[in-house]
């Protein structure tokens, strides 16, 4: 019964969570104060016999107080967020040693091109997978997102990363997994009839486990897509999905 934010599995995920919890506490406190105050006012100043309302038109000091306090809070939040935002999205802050991964999205599947043992993309030993991404824990990765048809969105909840994939543009996003295991990768932007069944899985291995997996891929020359098609969900689809 896991009903909260999935455990963080990426380097900057902790910062994102920290800002989330700061905002949660501030807004939680303001929520209690405002709604509590509302309830108190409703009970205390409800209509009673012989009661008359106070003839007040406003109070400038109160206005100034509840203008500056929210302004200060939101400016502080903005500065806080800007630091994390630039580490995640600003190309200047991308780690130099990031391993490039080609992510090509088309309507209703993810195509990953992972560099083979030589560590470079576009060479013959690249490993091509559909809806399966294999990474090493603790290494920086830079995904080069390209789309073939419509806008999709590269979303890994555990890594707190979301980046729309816009056709006609190559957008780079980076992350560093810090936990091993299998994490879900989803499409977060409505991309047509099969938007709901575009899930993929990110396997984060330890270094030697990854090496074993990499050699186990047989002759590295097979650039053709290996037909381990795990797209269809386990549940039998009652009806074939729409017109696609």
Partner 1 sequence: MTAAAAPHDAGLHAGHDDRPWLRRYVFSTDHKTIGIQFLFLSLTFLLLGGLMAMVIRWQLGFPGTPVPGGSILPDAMAPGGVIRPSFYNALVTMHGTFMIFFAVMPLLTGVFANYLIPLKIGAPDMAFPRLNMWSFWLMIPAGTLALAGFFVEGGSAASGWTAYAPLSNSPLYTGVSAGQILWCVAIIIFGASSLLGSVNYIATVVNLRAPGMTWMRLPLSVWALFITAILALLAVPILAGAIIMLLFDQVLGTHFYLPTGGGQPLLWQHLFWFFGHPEVYILILPAMGIVSDVIANGSRKPIFGYTSMVFAIGGIAGLGFMVWGHHMFVSGMNPTLGTSFMASTMLIAVPTSIKVFNWLGTMWRGNIHFHVPMLNAIGFLSMFVIGGLSGIFMAATPVDMYIHDTYFIVAHIHYVLFGGSLFAAFAGIYYWFPKMFGREMHDGLGRWHFGLTFVFYNLTFFPMHLLGLGGHMRRLYDPTQYPFLAPMQPINVFVSVSAFLLMAAQLPFVWNFFWSLFRGPKAPLNPWRDNSLEWTVPSPPPHGNFVETPTVYRGPYEYSVPGEPEDFLPQDRPAPARQEAH
Task: For the segment 95-134, give every residue that binds partner 1 (CB under 8 A).
Answer: 107
Through-space distance between the first and last CA atoms of the chain, rounded to whole angstroms: 34
Contact assessment for residue 115 and residue 100, using Cβ atoms and an 8 Å cutoff? yes
| Contact flags string 145-184 toward partner 1, x per CB under 8 A | ----xxx-x-x-x--xxxxxxxxxx-x-----------xx
Per DSSP, the residues of 175-200 read: E-B-S-EEEEEEE-S--STTGGG--E
| Contact flags string 198-217 toward partner 1, x per CB under 8 A | -x------------------
Backbone region of residue 211 per phi and psi (left: phi > 0; alpha: psi in -120 to 50; beta: other values): alpha
Interacting stretch for partner 1, rule CB under 8 A, among 87-95, 120-128, 206-214, 219-227?
A: 87-95
**Smallest separation (angstroms) from partner 1 to the CB of 161:** 7
**Smallest separation (angstroms) from partner 1 to the CB of 13:** 9
Task: Verify binding: residue 58, partner 1, rule CB under 8 A.
Answer: yes
Nearer to partner 1 (CB atom), residue 109 or residue 126: 109
Contacting partner 1 within 15-44 (CB under 8 A):
15-16, 19-20, 23-24, 26-27, 30-31, 34-35, 37-38, 41-42
- Going by their DSSP bridges, the two strands 181-187 and 171-175 should be labelled as unpaired
Task: Verify binding: residue 4, partner 1, rule CB under 8 A.
Answer: yes
Task: Verify binding: residue 228, partner 1, rule CB under 8 A.
Answer: no
Nearer to partner 1 (CB atom), residue 41 or residue 215: 41
Helical residues (DSSP H) of 179-243, grouped into ranges: 207-215
Burial of residue 224 (number of CB atoms within 10 Å: 0-12, 13-18, 19+): exposed
Q: Which of 153, 130, 209 has the alpha carbon at shortest distance from 177? A: 209
**Smallest separation (angstroms) from partner 1 to the CB of 236:** 10
Contact assessment for residue 101 and residue 112, using Cβ atoms and an 8 Å cutoff? yes
Which of 7, 63, 117, 124 is the binder for partner 1 (CB under 8 A)?
63
**d(Cα 238, Cα 6) in Å, to the nearest integer?**
30
């Amino acid at each position: 019964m896991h009903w909260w934010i999935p455990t963080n599995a990426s380097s900057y995920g902790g910062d994102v969570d920290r800002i989330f919890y700061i905002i949660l506490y501030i807004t939680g406190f303001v929520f209690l104060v405002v709604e509590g105050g509302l309830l108190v006012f409703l009970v205390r100043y409800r209509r009673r016999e012989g009661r008359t309302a106070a003839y007040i038109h406003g109070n400038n000091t109160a206005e100034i107080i509840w203008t500056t306090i929210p302004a200060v809070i939101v400016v502080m939040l903005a500065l806080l967020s800007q630091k994390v935002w630039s580490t995640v999205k600003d190309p200047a802050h991308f780690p130099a040693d990031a391993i490039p991964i080609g992510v090509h999205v088309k309507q209703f599947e993810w195509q990953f091109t992972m560099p083979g043992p030589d560590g470079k993309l576009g060479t013959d030993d690249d490993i091509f997978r559909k809806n399966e991404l294999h990474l090493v824990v603790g290494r920086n990765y830079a995904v080069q997102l390209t789309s073939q048809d419509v806008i999709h969105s590269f979303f890994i909840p555990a890594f707190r990363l979301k980046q729309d994939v816009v056709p006609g543009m190559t957008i780079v996003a980076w992350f560093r997994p810090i936990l091993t295991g299998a994490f879900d990768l989803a499409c977060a932007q409505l991309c047509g009839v099969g938007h709901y069944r575009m899930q993929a899985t990110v396997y984060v291995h330890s270094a030697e486990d990854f090496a074993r997996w990499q050699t186990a891929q047989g002759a590295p020359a097979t650039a053709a897509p290996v037909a381990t098609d795990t797209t269809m969900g386990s549940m039998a689809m009652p009806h074939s999905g729409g017109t696609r």
